[in-house]
């Protein structure tokens, strides 16, 4: 198959959950013998520098980037609020990107155009006009669900109504998009079921994030359990969860276990957290090697309260044989079993109890981690997931 992959940011280097989800599928499709062309937005936050890319990757993907300034603009956001446009989506549309897309579709024929996330859907009219390819939305998250959860937890009385409005607006947009695509590759079964409820006749497949387990060496460091959280802190749900962990959970753990250690790291770590001096807590910013950081520590904490979709870091942590303690929201979309291959904590008290259990029985982390890695090998390998995605695309082409 000939596949055009439209990305809202460069999929290489794979430095966060979104880029890894795109990159792994790109490689998987290429390894399966398909032709993949990558066209992405190059933004101030996520610039594309072709000179830094491996030559083999450039040649195999023909990757191109078009600069689009997606930086938040208060005036534009207010204008879209008044006009009922969705600023979260509209800021990803660029006439320059549209022109390059027209040129590409006029020169080459594709079987599938894969839209990576809702943010690339403004280009659907252009794709329809210049191509007969099937258009598939690869839904990384249900964006309106994230906003609804953030709105519920918002304490600022001025921001709360805006977040509710934004969630309602995003929900309407997401549902309208379903009538304009030929299929959806949802990242979790729950997301797929939600989408099917609103557009039952639309072909929908569940295509989760996956890895090549051979790329992850499961090694348990010596010593007592060290807890850690690793995630980009410019994503609001991560910051919200970490602040909750530090405020509602960690002080209680410290009182019961004064020698316990918690390590926090992530891109764009807030300055006040970097300056904080908390008992037993080590806070750093971006780390050069995420896998090495995780490998040196024992227990991954995922205190998410308002996210949606699937957590890439949990899959990677499990592939490394790590014990994961997560909220139900953090573990959404992963076919895991509480007490078997993960520990689920629904409240702050649950988190304190689960962390205390691991401190009291350090071997528990190893047992949970071993079973977690086995789960990845059974269900979340890139080879298996790409086969499922390919079968889905072949079905669309035959329809």
- Interatomic CA distance for residues 390 and 34, integer angstroms: 9
- The pLDDT of residue 333: 86
| pLDDT for position 81 | 45
Q: Which residues of the chain carry a pLDDT beneath 50? A: 75-85
User: Can you give the pLDDT at residue 67?
Assistant: 95
**pLDDT of amino acid 165:** 73
Which tokens belong to 199?
Answer: 């557009």
Helices of type H across the chain: 17-31, 55-61, 74-83, 87-90, 95-107, 124-130, 143-153, 159-177, 189-198, 236-244, 250-256, 271-275, 290-295, 312-319, 348-360, 362-379, 382-398
Q: What's the CATH class of domain 214-379?
A: alpha beta
Span(s) in the chain for CATH 3.40.50.2000: 2-210+381-398, 214-379
Instruction: Tell me what pLDDT residue 17 has.
Output: 83
- Residues present in the chain in total: 399
Residue 84 in 3-state DSSP? coil
pTM for the whole thing?
0.83
pLDDT at 148: 66
Mean pLDDT of the chain: 90
Q: Which CATH architecture has domain 2-210+381-398?
A: 3-Layer(aba) Sandwich (3.40)
């Amino acid at each position: 198959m000939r596949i055009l992959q439209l990305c809202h940011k460069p999929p290489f280097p794979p430095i966060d959950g979104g880029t890894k989800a795109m990159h792994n599928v790109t490689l998987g499709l290429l390894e399966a013998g398909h032709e993949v062309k990558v066209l992405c937005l190059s933004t101030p936050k996520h610039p594309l520098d072709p000179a830094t890319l491996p030559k083999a990757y450039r040649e195999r993907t023909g990757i191109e980037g078009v600069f689009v300034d997606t930086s938040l603009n208060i005036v534009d956001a207010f204008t879209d609020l008044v006009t009922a446009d969705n600023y979260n989506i509209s800021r990803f549309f660029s006439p320059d990107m549209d022109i390059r897309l027209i040129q590409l579709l006029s020169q080459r024929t594709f079987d599938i155009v894969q839209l990576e996330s809702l943010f690339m859907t403004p280009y659907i009219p252009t794709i329809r006009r210049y191509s007969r390819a099937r258009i598939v939305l690869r839904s990384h998250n249900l964006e309106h669900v994230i906003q609804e959860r953030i709105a519920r937890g918002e304490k600022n009385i001025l921001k709360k109504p805006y977040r509710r409005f934004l969630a309602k607006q995003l929900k309407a947009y997401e549902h309208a998009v379903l009538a304009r695509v030929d299929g959806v590759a949802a990242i979790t079964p729950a997301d797929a079921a939600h989408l099917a409820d609103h557009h039952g006749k639309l072909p929908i497949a569940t295509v989760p994030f996956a890895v090549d387990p051979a790329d992850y060496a499961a090694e348990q460091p010596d010593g007592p359990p060290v807890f850690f959280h690793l995630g980009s802190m410019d994503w609001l749900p991560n910051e919200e969860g970490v602040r909750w962990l530090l405020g509602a959970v960690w002080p209680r753990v410290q009182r019961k276990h004064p020698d316990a250690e918690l390590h926090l790291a992530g891109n764009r770590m807030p300055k006040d957290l970097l300056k904080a001096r908390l008992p037993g807590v080590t806070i750093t910013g971006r780390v050069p090697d995420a896998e090495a950081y995780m490998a040196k520590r024992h227990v991954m904490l995922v205190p998410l309260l308002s996210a949606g979709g699937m957590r890439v870091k949990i899959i990677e942590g499990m592939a490394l044989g790590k014990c994961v303690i997560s909220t139900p929201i953090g573990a959404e979309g992963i076919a895991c079993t509480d007490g078997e291959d993960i520990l689920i904590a629904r409240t702050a008290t649950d988190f304190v109890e689960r962390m205390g259990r691991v401190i009291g029985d350090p071997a528990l982390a190893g047992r949970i981690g071993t079973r977690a890695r086995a789960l990845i090998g059974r269900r979340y390998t890139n080879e298996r997931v790409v086969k499922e995605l390919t079968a889905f695309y072949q079905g669309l082409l035959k329809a």
